[in-house]
Amino acid sequence: KLKKFDDKDLKSFQYEKNPKKLRVGFFSADLRTHSVTKFIEETLKILKQNNFEIIAFSNNNLGSDDLTTERLKEIFHEWYDIIKLSDLEVINLIRDKKINMLFDLTGYSTGNRCEIFKNKSAPLQISWCGYCNSSGIKEMDYLIADQNLIKKEEESNYSEKIIRLPKIWNSHFLISSKIEVNELPAIKNKFITFGSFNNYGKLSDDAIETWSKILKNNNSKLILKSSVHDHQLVRDNIMSKFKKNGIEENKIIFMERLKSNEEHLKLYNKIDISLDTFPFCGATTTFESLWMGVPTITLSGKIFNSKFGVSINENLNLNNFIAKDKFDYIEKTNLVSSDLNNLTKIRKSLRSLVMDSALFDNKNLGLNLGKILKDKWNTFSKLNKNL
């Protein structure tokens, strides 16, 4: 369904085969305050410091640029707003700017421009961060993952070749340490408070059924909060599903979306354990939860975006919080929620643990990514001597 343009309408590639600095483009519709920028901002700085020219092709909606956008503009060497340009114009712009490699940070998410990649805007094209699954576009050369997300035997499920970063596929920029981690709420409450701040669109029927069994087994409550789809009709629909599974309304607490990120993070001080959604796991929410001392129970799935939590918890050696199936998810949740002493120890040590881990190690991730990009370009140049 993606339009393929006639070659006569496309400009020839202008890239240098052996540039002093590789020119790396980044396409995104989310170069603003958004989860994607929390993962790429510091990495971009590392690439810039290590002999890369980084160029932004921003498809931000008109009027959506904000303070984050302004910060990013200071990092990129060049910035092009493309929202008003046609796909053909964007492809020719990218080719004209001598881009060696082009990152897609959007995939099929809102604001995507998949035709740009279908028509090979750059010699090498890489999917990363914004859409963590296969594009199915054969012109997309690589997909960035790690050893926990895509196993060797699973590579045939992806149209792209897999680039594995050494420890984790993404690193988050440091969150404010001014927001303190409090005492385990269960000590004062005398009951366990579970929480999920994932988008309501991720609350599958399977997850609700599984969480309902957990709530029945524990003296507990569940706090839900979403950054999107948060209106009464959706809440009523979610609540009706819990009721069908035998859960009374007083067990479920819906929280409003808050104005500031700081207020949002402080809400984790009400939660003892986060419950990850499945089959589409949380990523940003899990990073934030761990930062606030709240461990996340996650269920390992079969594809990239079903294994975010696995990769995150593996990097922290929190194997007791990784479930292999729904039964194991319930069993592990019951086990960890029954040991308040252990939960207290985890809560007190988690922030230090994550700060010393790959989760927030932007420097090493950036250096490793840079080395891989140079290696991939060198391989490409050797295989395409006549181009």
Q: Are strands 296-299 and 322-323 parallel, antiparallel or unpaired?
A: parallel
How many Cα atoms within 13 Å fall on the side-chain side of residue 340?
12
pLDDT score for 265:
95
d(CA 257, CA 230): 8
Question: What is the tens place of the pLDDT at every residue in 42-70?
Answer: 999 999 999 999 999 999 999 999 999 99
Q: pLDDT tens digit string along 244-262? A: 999 999 999 999 988 888 9
Between CA 97 and CA 23 the distance in angstroms is 9
Per-residue tens of pLDDT for the chain, all 387 residues: 899 999 999 999 999 989 999 999 999 999 999 999 999 999 999 999 999 999 999 999 999 999 999 999 999 999 999 999 999 999 999 999 999 999 999 999 999 999 999 999 999 999 999 999 999 999 999 999 999 999 999 999 999 999 999 999 999 998 988 899 999 999 999 999 999 999 999 999 999 999 999 999 889 999 999 988 889 999 999 999 999 999 999 999 999 988 888 999 999 999 999 999 999 999 999 999 999 999 999 999 999 999 999 999 999 999 999 999 999 999 999 999 999 999 999 999 999 999 999 999 999 999 999 999 999 999 999 988 766
In terms of DSSP bridges, do strands 192-196 and 296-299 run parallel, antiparallel, or are they unpaired?
unpaired
Rounded Cα distance, 270 and 285, in Å: 15
> What HEC string does the chain produce?
CCCCCCHHHCCCCCCCCCCCCEEEEEEECCCCCCHHHHHHHHHHHHHHHCCEEEEEEECCCCCCCCHHHHHHHHHCCEEEECCCCCHHHHHHHHHHCCCCEEEECCCCCCCCCHHHHHCCCCCEEEECCCCCCCCCCCCCCEEEEECCCCCHHHHHHCCCEEEEECCCCCCCCCCCCCCCCCCCHHHHHCCEEEEECCCHHHCCHHHHHHHHHHHHHCCEEEEECCCCCCCHHHHHHHHHHHHHCCCCHHHEEECCCCCCHHHHHHHHHHCCEEECCCCCCCCHHHHHHHHCCCCEEEECCCCHHHCHHHHHHHHCCCHHHEECCHHHHHHHHHHHHCCHHHHHHHHHHHHHHHHCCHHHCHHHHHHHHHHHHHHHHHHHHHHCCCC
Tokens of 21: 């600095």
Neighbouring C-beta atoms of residue 365, cutoff 10 Å? 23
Nearby residues of 133 by Cβ (< 8 Å), 6 or more positions away: 107, 303, 304, 305
Q: Which residue has the tokens 């090979």?
A: 120
Burial (CB < 10 A; 0-12, 13-18, 19+), residue 88, is middle
The alpha carbon dihedral of 130, 133, 135, 139 has a sign of: positive
Read off the tokens for 338: 């029954």
Asked if 300 contacts 307 with a C-beta cutoff of 8 angstroms, the reply is yes
- Give this prediction's pTM: 0.94
| Alpha carbons 93 and 276: distance in angstroms, whole number | 41
Q: What pLDDT is stored for residue 386 in this prediction?
A: 65
Distances (CA, A) of 348 to 103, 192, 354: 38, 17, 12
